[in-house]
Amino acid sequence: MVVTDKINLPDEPRLLSGPVAVAAAFATLGLVACGGGHGAQEALLKSEPASQQPDLLPRTAAASTSGARRKASAARTPTATEVFDWAQLQFPSIFSSQEANIAVEGLTYRFYPGTGHYLGVLDGNVVVLGPLTDN
């Protein structure tokens, strides 16, 4: 069976006019004004522990029999100094100066007087206190 109906398309697109054009303009402006809110800034202020989810990683027979798994499990944990130096490179507006490490009862930290932030490592956890976290 062959369908021979033709669709009549205009040669030139029609522009909206009158109340329909005004309604479409306000709807577009309303959607644009919604934007993304303050999501990015709020996300920076949230304090949540990092989690590992190894079950989300792909599993292959080759990976389980090769040395890749052994090599991955042998990765070392960075030192507090390495974490602090990395943070200073990644976030220079927050950790703006090179400060000395201070160690107290298992906590190693640096205080950044220019911004009023503390950056510390305690039991493998990284802690940030100061204006960024309202602490």
Question: What's the rounded mean pLDDT across residues 112-124?
Answer: 94
C-alpha–C-alpha distance, residues 123 and 77, integer Å: 11
pLDDT at position 74, please?
64
pLDDT tens sequence across 34-75: 555 555 556 556 666 666 666 666 666 555 555 666 666 668
Write the single-letter amino acid at 80. A
Instruction: Provide the residue range defining the domain that includes 93.
Output: 79-135
pTM for the structure as a whole: 0.47
Residue 1 lies in a domain: no
Instruction: Give the three-class secondary structure for 18.
Output: coil
Q: Residue 104 pLDDT more than 90?
A: yes
Residue 85 lies in a domain: yes
pLDDT tens sequence across 7-31: 655 566 555 556 665 666 666 665 5
Domain count, the chain: 1
Q: What is the 3-state secondary structure (H, E, C) of 50-100?
A: CCCCHHHCCCCHHHHHCCHHHHHHCCCCCCHHHHHHHHHHHCCCCCCCCCC
